[in-house]
Amino acid sequence: MSKSSIHVPELNLHGIRVWLSGAIPEPEGETPDTQAVLEAWQGSELECGILGFVQEFASLVMKFGGQIIHGSHPSFTPILLECARRHFRTEHESPLTLCVSDYWPEEDAGERERWRQVARVTVVRRAGTDDDRDASLALLRESMAQDCNAFVAIGGRWWSAVPGRAGVPKEFELAKKQKVPSFVLGGFGGVSQTYVTENPRWLDGLENGLSEEQNQQLSINTNFVLTAGKIVSQLHLLNKRSGDSNTLGASG
């Protein structure tokens, strides 16, 4: 295939390990009987946007040599596994790391074994007591924060019934502590949106090389194709610029 590499070169994301944080937010209303869903049809733009982004972003990162790290949310995991299957390199160099806490048992026998066919699976030990769900989650998040050198958040559950449980803000704070380039996508709803609209200081510590205005634009973008492409291009440029700095892929 003839390449036009002089003009529009391919990208290099080797060494970049992106922690992908988020989930599809829970529906606001319940009782979705058929007639009610039809009458109040809003399409499925929200989940199409979030899941579409996950697929497009992950496959692009993987294609150009980067890796995705994710905390095994059920709505994202099958998509990430399919991306990893398509972009699988070698047994020792999977483009996907799925982290799980052994607080949660496998939903299906052999589930993690199936994941291991294409992904690296990191099982993080649960916190001491049997019912310490949140402490086990904190350990899981610490592990992902240690492993990543870039961070992207999209969607995320509000957990309105359990104050303080929403994961995206906690994970973003951990990423900021690591001083890794971070991108928070508020245009696709969920707690990411709440975070950028209600927290005036959300821009602090993003370290992603974009101006405040560019980050504001990114945080309201609702098109997942453009969003995925733009973040990947920025990761490529950061990677290129970083050289031997310790923030991105160059650190390995």
CB of 204 to another protein, least distance (A): 19
Q: How far apart, in whole angstroms, are the C-alpha atoms of residue 220 and residue 193?
A: 8
Q: How far is the CB of 209 from another protein (least distance, A)?
A: 8
Contact pick of 21, 94, 136, 234 for another protein (by CB under 8 A) = 234
> Which one, 24 or 68, has the nearer CB to another protein?
24
DSSP single-letter state for residue 249: G
Cβ proximity of 173 and 195 under 8 Å: no
Minimum CB distance to another protein smaller for 84 or for 127: 84
- Residue-wise burial string across 173-189, b where 16 or more C-beta atoms lie within 10 A, e elsewhere: ebbbebebbbbbbbbbb
Residue 75 found at the interface with another protein (CB under 8 A): yes
- Return the range that interacts with another protein (CB under 8 A); candidates 108-116, 139-147, 165-173, 199-207: 108-116
Minimum separation from the CB atom of position 24 to another protein (A): 4
Name which of 56 and 171 has its Cβ closer to another protein: 56
Does 44 participate in binding another protein (rule CB under 8 A)?
Answer: yes
- Per DSSP bridges, beta strands 120-124 and 96-101 are parallel
3-state secondary structure of 81: helix
- Please give the residues from 169 up to 228 whose contact with another protein meets the rule CB under 8 A: 210, 213-214, 217-218, 223, 225-226, 228
- CB 101, CB 139: distance < 8 Å: yes
Identity of the residue, 81 or 184, whose beta carbon is nearer to another protein in the bound complex: 81
Residues in contact with another protein, shown as a per-residue x/- string from 7 to 36 under the rule CB under 8 A: xxxxx-----------xxxxx--xxxxxx-
Positive or negative: CA dihedral 121, 150, 227, 153: positive
Other Cβ atoms closer than 10 A to 56: 19
Report in angstroms how near the CB of residue 189 gets to another protein at its nearest.
10
- 68 near another protein, rule: CB under 8 A: no
Radius of gyration of the chain (CA): 18
> Is residue 56 a contact point for another protein (CB under 8 A)?
yes
Structure tokens at 70: 């994710």
User: Judged by CB under 8 A, which of 16, 18, 20, 51 binds another protein?
Assistant: 51
Site for another protein contains 83 (CB under 8 A): yes
Choosing from 16, 65, 70, 77, the residue that interacts with another protein (CB under 8 A) is 77
Amino acid at residue number 236: H
Give dist(CA 154, CA 2) in Å, integer. 36
What is the rounded CA–CA span in Å between residue 199 and residue 158? 15
Looking at residues 123 to 162 of the shown chain, list those that interact with another protein (rule: CB under 8 A): 157
